[in-house]
Chain A
Amino acid sequence: MTPGPDRRWAELAREQEFLQLAEVRRQAEGWRNGLAGTTALLTVLVFVKGRDNLADLSPGGRVTAMVLLGAGFLCLLCGTLTAVRACYGRPGESVYLGGQALRRWTEREVARAGRLVITATVLSVAGVLCVAAAVGVAWSTTQDTGVPPEGGAARIAGR
């Protein structure tokens, strides 16, 4: 019998022992960038939510908008982390660096990464939709309180 891909996998596993540090650095860099991206989500939400003062909303609209914003933030956060996990793997994971062990891990990881990308896409789209819905609620349920702006009221009082 001639040797099949088993030798190739074993050679790859043997080589992996010497490449671990570079791989760890690459993964850490990816996670750092991904985690930095999650903090930017907060800024985006503040800009995107529209109305500055949710207190002007009707009570029902306020609760709805806040729930939608919270759900949107959670979806975007989980979507970002899921995408980073799909790209850079799970930190701290280790296996026996034998050819067949590496082969089985690779097969599992390929399937897992594919599922994670789909999950990340769904979460990101859901997050954007939630934030968009929150903006819609904020604009459509804002009550006109009839109170003039603070500066205007001061001028009237001082007249």
Chain B
Amino acid sequence: MSEGGGHRFEERYAERDLGEVAGDFRQRSGPDGRSVVLEGTCPGCLGRSVTRIPRGAPGAGTKGLLGRFGRRREAREAEAEPDLLETEVLFCECGYAHPEQPAEVAFRGCGAQWRVRPDDDGGTP
């Protein structure tokens, strides 16, 4: 996860927004089929950042009678997987405990956050 060639391990942990960044980010389906994996090089520490975004109940959900209709809907949604690289804010998850990193952090990395700048043709890299 953190095996990037130029990974700056000495980069101190700091929560900072790097704005829109162009880079080698890509999106692929997760192995469980219900999640999406966003990966690329963190612009903050240059480590390999991998973020898994699962599909789940936002506040609630069930698989009862009405869930049968939900499953049909889910199948449609799975076919049209959204471009999360375009819409999500990414956080460094290089997995390395950078200096001064708090004990409890949701995203284990250097603390950087950024958006992926869309290509000129409107899509993400």
Please give the residue numbers on chain A whose beta carbons come within 8 Å of chain B beta carbons, in ascending order: 1-4, 6-7, 10-11, 13-17, 20, 23-24, 26-28, 31, 88-102, 105-106, 109
Contacts and interface: CB of A to CB of B under 8 A. Distances in A.
A26 B60 contact: yes
Interface string B3-43: 00000000000011111000000000000000010000000
Main secondary structure of the interface of A (DSSP, over half): helix
B18 A1 contact: yes
A3 B60 contact: no
A15 B45 CA distance: 25
Nearest to B19: A1
B53 interface: yes
Contacts of A94: 55-58, 61, 70, 74
A123 B84 CA distance: 39
Contacts of B53: 13, 96-98, 101
6 A-B pairs with least C-beta separation: A92-B70, A27-B60, A1-B17, A92-B67, A6-B89, A11-B106
Interface of B: 15-19, 36, 53-64, 66-67, 69-71, 73-74, 82, 84, 87-89, 91, 106-107, 113
B63 A92 contact: yes
12 contacts: A7-B113, A10-B91, A16-B57, A17-B56, A27-B59, A89-B60, A92-B61, A93-B58, A94-B61, A96-B53, A98-B53, A106-B58
Contacts of A95: 55-56, 58
A124 B45 CA distance: 58
A52 B26 CA distance: 70
Given A1-B17, A20-B56, A96-B53, A27 B89 contact: no
A3 B54 contact: no
A1 to B, nearest CB: 4
Contacts of A26: 60
A83 to B, nearest CB: 16
B16 A3 contact: yes
Contacts of A98: 53, 84, 87-88
B87 A101 contact: yes
Contact of B88 (A3, A14, A20, A99): A99
Given A1-B16, A2-B15, A31-B62, 13 more contacts: A7-B15, A11-B106, A20-B56, A23-B57, A27-B60, A89-B60, A94-B55, A96-B53, A96-B82, A98-B87, A100-B87, A100-B88, A109-B58
